[in-house]
Amino acid sequence: MSDIKKVVLAYSGGLDTSVIAKWITETYQCEVVTFTADLGQGEEVEPARAKAKALGIKEIYIEDLREEFVRDFVFPMFRANAIYEGEYLLGTSIARPLIAKRLIEIANETGADAISHGATGKGNDQVRFELGAYALKPGVKVIAPWREWDLTSRETLMAYCEEHNIPVDFNKAGKKSPYSMDANLLHISYEGGVLENTWAEAEDDMWRWSVSPEKAPDVSTYIELDYVKGDIVAIDGVAMSPATVLEHLNKVGGANGIGRLDIVENRFVGMKSRGCYETPGGTIMMRAHRAIESITLDREVAHLKDSLMPKYAELIYNGFWWSPERLMLQEMIDKSQGPVNGKVRLKLYKGNVDVVGRQSEDSLFDASIATFEDDAGAYNQADAEGFIKLNALRLRIAAKKGRSPLE
């Protein structure tokens, strides 16, 4: 007899988590609570309620977390300009700490002593969910069915459904995608299928959120983003909430063929994995944020941020959002954003995001000094000679000692 009495399951309503709900009930002889989060994945989440009820679930949580997701997770990450391995905008990674947080909160509310998820034993998500859970509730038990059961394929899952009378009609409608996909307001990801051949080009009809750059409009689209303390607060003069900002940028970016990415990344568990990602709004946000920082941040602050960013991005990718080191870095990053206020104008055209204007009352750009015209004595060019000689001093001393850089 298991000592686990109640489990909170991260439940999508799909085949895997429906099987998991039943499997946990039978294997652990315990009650299951389902939690379904609306993170802007573009699909109705309410049908998950009927599916959970059909499985005999009595406590069902379905929550709209879109605003919290963008405000408290996506926006803080973009203040850091976080990119993993030079390309990936961390769309899946950044959703996991919020789901882990709510799993633990619901466990506390319902008196559950365990949580569960549908992540496989090969991927990063198992790590992200569980590191988050342990950081927020050290004694919580975790049930990870993909590491325990012998159901190793879609066929065995379907057979389990038939044996246990689990309704799967919602998986029969229409043609099943050959890809494993995950979506939220920041991105949609694709893995598996032909993508497991790293030489094969992704099929054009795979992409859901964007037109191909070749089919994008032949006329540029201009947009203006208003920033306050590093966050976008308005688009084209219209004030918007965080989630609305990202929804709007996804639409305009997708319409202009922006945000497609095909990469091979290094998973935390050790293997390489090929994934394709669509992040139209995030691609625009990254370009624009760096533009507003370029005129408002001190040089050394900007360079220090850039030097720490790979570590910050790695922490998020590996599941350490709730770690003390990420929280410490976030304090520093947020402090830097005080003067990051103003407006950025962008031109979107066939997959490209070009910055064509930036302005701020907090700008450190001084045209009277930087000008190529007569600066009326604002900058004494003769001062550069001493500056150069002082910086060259150690090089000159070493050269005199015969330490030639050509040897």
DSSP string of 317-333, one letter each residue: HHT-TTSHHHHHHHHHH
Sequence-distant (≥ 6) Cβ neighbours of residue 304 within 8 angstroms? none
* For range 341-365, the mean pLDDT: 98
- How confident is the model at residue 238, as a pLDDT? 98
Distance CA 103, CA 116 (A): 9
Asked whether 347 and 224 are in contact (CB, 8 A), the reply is no
Q: Any idea of the CA torsion for 30, 33, 36, 37, to the nearest 10 degrees?
A: -120
Sign of torsion, CA 293 298 301 304?
A: positive
Categorize the per-residue pLDDT at 14 as very low, low, confident or very high, splitting at 50, 70 and 90. confident
Active site (catalytic) residues:
16, 96, 125, 180
Chain mean position to CA 329: 17
Asked whether 154 and 124 are in contact (CB, 8 A), the reply is no
Mean pLDDT of the chain: 95
pTM: 0.94
- How confident is the model at residue 322, as a pLDDT? 98
- How confident is the model at residue 174, as a pLDDT? 44
- How confident is the model at residue 170, as a pLDDT? 47
Distance CA 4, CA 22 (A): 15
- How confident is the model at residue 172, as a pLDDT? 43
- Percentage of the chain beyond pLDDT 90 is 88
- Percentage of the chain beyond pLDDT 70 is 98
Distance CA 8, CA 29 (A): 14
Tokens 């691609």 belong to 283
- How confident is the model at residue 169, as a pLDDT? 56
Single-letter amino acid code for the residue at 361: E
Domains in the chain: ranges and CATH? 6-67+90-176 (3.40.50.620), 181-297+339-359 (3.90.1260.10)
Q: How many residues does the chain have?
A: 407
> Which pLDDT tens digit goes with each residue over 316-344?
999 999 999 999 999 999 999 999 999 99
Distance CA 362, CA 342 (A): 8
Higher pLDDT, 13 or 216: 216
- How confident is the model at residue 15, as a pLDDT? 87
Which tokens sit at 371? Answer: 């000008």
Asked whether 277 and 301 are in contact (CB, 8 A), the reply is no
- Beta pairing partners, 261: 277
DSSP string of 330-392, one letter each residue: HHHHHHHTTT--EEEEEEEETTEEEEEEEE-TT----HHHH-SS--TTSS-TTHHHHHHHHHH
Which tokens sit at 87? Answer: 């390309």
* For range 14-35, the mean pLDDT: 94
Asked whether 126 and 119 are in contact (CB, 8 A), the reply is yes
- How confident is the model at residue 291, as a pLDDT? 98
- How confident is the model at residue 176, as a pLDDT? 60
Distance CA 181, CA 256 (A): 22
DSSP string of 54-102, one letter each residue: HTT--EEEEEE-HHHHIIIIIHHHHHTT--BTTTB--TTGGGHHHHHHH
> Which pLDDT tens digit goes with each residue over 164-208?
988 775 444 445 667 889 999 999 999 999 999 999 999 999 999
Which tokens sit at 62? Answer: 């379905």
Categorize the per-residue pLDDT at 348 as very low, low, confident or very high, splitting at 50, 70 and 90. very high
The CA–CA distances, whole Å, from 265 to 270, 274, 281, 319 equal: 10, 6, 21, 15
In 236-294, beta strands by DSSP E: 238-239, 260-266, 272-278
3 state SS of 212: coil
Distance CA 78, CA 64 (A): 22
3 state SS of 129: helix
* For range 8-19, the mean pLDDT: 93
> Which pLDDT tens digit goes with each residue over 367-405?
999 989 998 999 999 999 999 999 999 999 999 999 989
> Which pLDDT tens digit goes with each residue over 245-302?
999 999 999 999 999 999 999 999 999 999 999 999 999 999 999 999 999 999 999 9
> Which pLDDT tens digit goes with each residue over 26-39?
999 999 999 999 99
Which tokens sit at 274? Answer: 């090929």
3 state SS of 309: helix
Sequence-distant (≥ 6) Cβ neighbours of residue 192 within 8 angstroms? 178, 179, 180
